[in-house]
Structure 1
Amino acid sequence: MSLPITNLRQTMLRHALDVQTYTPVPGLVLFHSVGQTLPMECLYQPRLCMIVQGSKQVTLGERVFTYNTRKYLIATVDLPVTSCVTQASTDRPYLSLSLDLDPAEIAALLLGAPPVVADTRTPPGLAVSALTDDLLCPMSRLVNLLDRPEDIPVLAPLVKREILYRLLQGEQGGQLRQIALSGSHLSQVSRVMAWIRQHYAQPFDVDSLARRAGMSTPSFYRHFRAVTMMSPLQYRTRIRLHEARKRMMSGGEDAAGAGFAVGYDSPSQFSRDYRRFFGIPPARDAAMMRAALLAEPRAV
């Protein structure tokens, strides 16, 4: 693996010139940080994440995922996580990339893939696995297309297809299959998660969510926890808190206004939830994060 990842690192150093670089390859984003970062809350969408240099820590619920150049991370649903770069320096900067996972592309590939025994278990929405040359080599070829942008329209779809195939044949293949199957438990839970993200400020109960998913309440609750590692109400709370934080940081709203805007009736309850999740009161956190954005390198 040393030669492919060395070549990939050299290519990324030429193209990852900012903290976050959107590339001409659809769905491919490069990240670069010259130092460790503060924990940042963000929403992971379905994606493959790979580190070329350095290491990173991602927290979902109570579970902590640590990965580096020997592992890759895959997310199959939209999840509120906390992430931070744990190993980086000016001499050896943190370098990573992410590639969006499109359920339609996966479904099309499954039509021609060898049949497999169906796995009826509901997989978690986030997982880390060992990185092999089978996956690293096509990823390296995809990034190398940045040196020849005229080749991207023709070759990028072919290389991305190979990457998806390697993922399907790998340890997380069952997880990837489920996001492409409309009747899978993962797909049913994902649809409800999308509804919560759109209606997070509205009241709801778990029974109504179960009906929306087409499941019994006990079955829905069990599968939701298996995917997200939290309950539906905890998921909504985190979406609310993420949105409130964004409003305070970028929109300049005060804590009370942000809390009401995301669905809280009580400023004191909003403050308690915020402090429990982020560790400090909302107003002080917003001030600190605005200062940190000016002074600290970041990676998402």
Structure 2
Amino acid sequence: MSKQAIKDIIAANAAREGLTESGIKGVQLFRATQAIPCVPVVYDPCIVAIVSGEKEAIFDGQRYVYDDSKYLCCPMSMPVMAGTPAAAPDTPLYGVLIALDPRVMSALAMDMQMEASASPDPMVKTDPPAQGIRLARWDDGFTNALLRLLQLAKNRADMAILGEARLRELYYAILKGEAGGFARQAFGAGNAIARSIADLSSNLAAPVSIDEMAGRAGMSRAVFHRKFKQVTTMAPIQFVKSMRLNNAAMKIAGGLAVTEAAMDVGYLSASQFSREFKRHYGQSPRQWAEAQQLPLGVA
């Protein structure tokens, strides 16, 4: 019943194709009524929950298909391929994209760790090293917290007064859920790799030195390389290249000139950008620009 109520709220408030602001900071509703193949995107820390239809994401060659039985958890910025290959007018996809505020998630993760340390029956468990993204079951805590959050859409005053508290409740449900250990690793104290990824994402056009990244993380180059690959499945230089190319592909699909898109993500040589883009996607940037007709704001 709760999932049906969530679907009804999204359907009533997401009248157009693509993303729609919910009125709650960091919460976007979306609908898709046409099939979209997987295309390059960058997911900043977020969860993506589907209540009707199914969605697909590909990260470093691994395919994730999810629907109303599992949601996607992405606690660090990641270059992925995402699409809605099964969406159609008679089988629309409805879902919600919720940004994860690192400050709030970190505070909750630390509070939970302190409670676990003080309790003879720990409420948190240690997971194996996190890798990129993960799917998690819709449990009752997550479902009920999401419904309570989206119910605020009915009243602007409720959103203003209760929005942060309901969002915090949902964050807590995520940290307690199936992907909780995975998310706590990303947001917990001392996760230098997550901080490195956040710095990279916010300064993508700046020159990148793996030695400098390792130094800021307080690690040797070899240790940083090993830990980075444990977390993301990619070597640091491969990750940087994927982030830059995915960001550039999104900008080009949005109408930005190829040369500007290349410069925006840190490429100084247009020819090098074109070579790496074609090697990565099998098309030149100009061919990509001509082929992409994405609905605005596809998640």
Per the shorter chain, which TM-score range?
0.7 to 0.9
Match of 2:282 among 279, 282, 288: 279
Relative to 1, partners in 2 of residues 1:246 and 1:158: Cα closer, same or farther, differing over 3 Å? closer
Q: Where do residues 1-300 of structure 1 align in structure 2 (5 Å cutoff)?
A: 3-18=1-16, 19-110=18-109, 113=112, 114-115=115-116, 116=122, 119=126, 121-184=128-191, 188-201=192-205, 203-250=207-254, 252-254=256-258, 258-259=261-262, 262-264=265-267, 267-289=270-292, 292-293=293-294, 299-300=298-299
- Residue 44 of structure 1: CA displacement? 0.6
**Which deviates the most, 161-170 or 42-51?**
161-170
Question: Quick check: 1:48–1:72 contact (8 Å CA) kept in 2?
Answer: yes
Q: Which runs of 5 or more residues in structure 1 are unaligned?
A: none
**Amino acid of the structure 2 residue aligned with 1:20:** L
**TM-score normalized with structure 1 length:** 0.86
**Which deviates the most, 62-71 or 196-205?**
196-205
Query: SS of 1:155's equivalent?
Result: helix
Work out the CA distance in 2 between the residues paired with 1:299 and 1:261. 21
Question: Quick check: 1:36–1:88 contact (8 Å CA) kept in 2?
Answer: yes
Question: Quick check: 1:42–1:82 contact (8 Å CA) kept in 2?
Answer: yes
- Residue 6 of structure 1: CA displacement? 1.2
Relative to 1, partners in 2 of residues 1:191 and 1:258: Cα closer, same or farther, differing over 3 Å? same
Work out the CA distance in 1 between the residues paired with 2:168 and 2:236. 34
**Amino acid of the structure 2 residue aligned with 1:279:** G
> Match of 2:119?
none
Relative to 1, partners in 2 of residues 1:129 and 1:248: Cα closer, same or farther, differing over 3 Å? closer
Relative to 1, partners in 2 of residues 1:248 and 1:10: Cα closer, same or farther, differing over 3 Å? closer
- Residue 262 of structure 1: CA displacement? 4.3
- Residue 22 of structure 1: CA displacement? 0.9
Question: Quick check: 2:79–2:242 contact (8 Å CA) kept in 1?
Answer: yes
Relative to 1, partners in 2 of residues 1:252 and 1:100: Cα closer, same or farther, differing over 3 Å? closer
Work out the CA distance in 1 between the residues paired with 2:205 and 2:23. 36
Percent sequence identity is: 28
The C-alpha deviation readout for 1:115-165, integer Å capped at 9, x for no partner, is 146738431231101212221122112112112332223333332232222
The C-alpha deviation readout for 1:36-67, integer Å capped at 9, x for no partner, is 11323221111121101010111111221111
**Number of matched residues?**
290
Query: SS of 1:87's equivalent?
Result: coil
Work out the CA distance in 2 between the residues paired with 1:247 and 1:106. 29
Relative to 1, partners in 2 of residues 1:103 and 1:245: Cα closer, same or farther, differing over 3 Å? closer
The C-alpha deviation readout for 1:186-233, integer Å capped at 9, x for no partner, is xx1122223333554555443332112111222211221122221111
Q: Which runs of 5 or more residues in structure 2 are unaligned?
A: 117-121
